[in-house]
A and B are shown apart, each in its own frame.
Chain A
Amino acid sequence: MAKKKTLQKALLSGNEALAHGAYEAGLGVACAYPGTPSTEILETLAGFKEIDVQWSVNEKVAYEVALGAAVAGVRSLFACKHVGLNVAMDPLMTSSYTGVNAGFVIVVADDPGMHSSQNEQDTRWVAIYSKMPLLEPSSPAEAREYIQEAFRISERFDTPVMVRMTTRVSHTKEDVALGERQVPPRPAFERNAAKYVMVPGHAYQRHIFVEKRLDKLKALAERTKFNRIEPGDGKIGFITSSVTYQYLKDVYPDASYLKLGMSYPFCDDKITAFAKTVRKLFVVEELDPFLEEHIKTLGVKCTAKDPSFRVGELTPESMPEIVAGRAKREKKVVKRPPRLCAGCPHWASFAALKKIDAFVAGDIGCYTLASLPPTAALHSCLCMGAGVTWHEGWRKGAPNKKIVGVVGDSTFVHSGVTGLINAAYNKAKGVILILDNSTTAMTGGQQHPGTGLTIRNEPTKQLILEDLCRACGADNVDVVDPMDVKAFAAILEKRINEDALSVIVSRHPCRLLKRQV
């Protein structure tokens, strides 16, 4: 008798397990911009020499490069955090129409509880909006399995597929059995204007295709084993998805479950049939009432969480509270807040900003921590690049105030540069500080064009920020080390009093960089 091959097991995070699953599925190209909690997906993939992996400049670029590779015939993946998906929405919406050729999967990691994010948007709605199928693994082992299914669905139905993780799934570790890599045969790359040139006439036909595809995907949702009924004692039943399933199983081991692994399109027949087998039905999900609202439209009688639970991450403790129909009790937990590291160059930059008592338009990065006391010298954090554009907007709205914009080096390349071009073109004045610590620090120190190294630390063309700023049209570009306190204060004082558009590159490497070498 042939001996069954024992698979190697490893303790992997959801992100690592997903990366391994994608590798096994024959993934060829992967693109992303770093963002907690999704960063480790690309970092893990970079360890596989067979895969072409890149840190892209931003999520829109990443999405397009990865999708292009799939259209040209190789299985590809785009990974991002929830807010990163917003940046990629433009190509995403129309890619639903073009479809794919080889499989293309969007991995998006939501952050319920905002462990490291500026909002807790529920990206499952994007599946409805874009008419794409949505898979929701509830554990690392499932992440490995689901990503492989996602590639199959993508090719079979000619659609991008969303795999939605959450911080808890991405950063939970589990023992995961690993398999061998199998590369499927490559589909041919052919010119096909009707499919890839989305002008109105073609797009109209593709929209018809998309609606038909949605019907076929609905039929798949009804029969897939990823939407699984687990019969229990019939007293209470749960319809649930993602990690919430795991919490419920611990608290209510005897209940019946409809565990949704493919949560969109909705499996209406399965939901209705399941509802009939239980005396009391609960719909339990994290964040928005995505399942709840749809299930209620089916006329199925069910109880869902009190709306107060739409805010924040659910925990196993929330389960009995939700079942009892209670509102969320806000617990005051005293935790040590994060702060800038000792010796971080940002301390020096913000000490200078505090001294001139400026209104500081901030951005996304470690330096956002400078908004906290005692520094409290950063006054906004909206989205990537808004440090540059809010600076311009604030100056328009409050011309008599002292206003400075700050943005990190990686963030500037991501989406600050367009704001700077806009400011120059529209004759805006003011001071933009690029806090250049020569890394993407907040997410753990990833490379970007300004560092001159790739995701695999190979040397590449280096983007020179000061040259770029001059080319954008900045009147003055200074490069100063913020640790040189006097020189830095002097240049800041000089530029803030000029009627010009100035960029000060505040350059000093991240303290954590040296340790990594």
Chain B
Amino acid sequence: MKDTVYSITFGGIGGQGVLKASEICGWAALYAGYHIKKSEVHGMAQRGGSVESHLRFGKRVYSPLIVAGGADFLVCFHHDEQPRLKAFLKKGGTDMTDFLDKVQELIDDPRSLNTALVGVLSPKLPISETCWMKAIETVFKPAIVAENKKVFLTGREIGRP
């Protein structure tokens, strides 16, 4: 395993499933054998306010927080939040917000926006499809696993280079 640490900033507003999205990625990285640090804030922030989660994985990760200009990817679920969060993105980093409108058109249920956008992100990360599927099985209740896998794979197709 290389020493590279991957840093992803997730953002949106309360109720959009921001933490769920970073949770899927976190478990996928865990199944892929990485060391993971993922930060989030609960409580007051969830009452419709800005929600932010940082995920870092690699061989060895120290800080759970990503510095300004330190994120390889920005996964943002709300256009209003993007201007603030793009400060996290490093030069040459990928802003997944560009895919937001396209993904919104493709999904029937706005609640699955988080899974779909993670799907778009997925081919850009060194994690196998098996690990992603296992992560979805871990993170969601059994009744909605199949639906989320489907949405994830739809996103994954868009994200392929």
Contact = CB atoms under 8 A, between A and B. Distances in A.
A327 interface: no
Nearest to A170: B42
A335 B65 contact: no
A268 interface: no
A115 interface: yes
Given A173-B40, A246-B62, A249-B62, A338 B14 contact: yes
Contacts of B41: 115-116, 167, 171
B43 A11 contact: no
B67 A175 contact: no
B108 to A, nearest CB: 20
A336 B52 CA distance: 11
B40 A171 contact: yes
Interface in B77-117: 80-81, 84
A336 B12 CA distance: 10
A340 interface: yes
B38 interface: yes
A247 interface: yes
Q: Is the interface of A mostly helix, strand, loop or mixed?
A: loop
B123 to A, nearest CB: 22
Given A168-B39, A335-B84, 8 more contacts: A37-B43, A116-B41, A168-B65, A173-B23, A315-B67, A338-B14, A338-B47, A338-B48
B42 A172 contact: no
Interface residues of B, number: 34
Contacts of A174: 35-38, 64
A429 B23 CA distance: 51
27 contacts: A10-B30, A11-B23, A37-B42, A37-B43, A39-B42, A115-B43, A168-B65, A171-B40, A172-B38, A173-B26, A173-B36, A173-B37, A173-B38, A174-B35, A174-B36, A174-B37, A175-B34, A175-B35, A246-B37, A246-B63, A249-B63, A316-B67, A336-B80, A338-B46, A339-B47, A339-B49, A366-B47
B48 A243 contact: no
A340 B47 CA distance: 6
Contacts of B1: none
A443 B43 CA distance: 6
Nearest to B22: A173
A374 interface: no
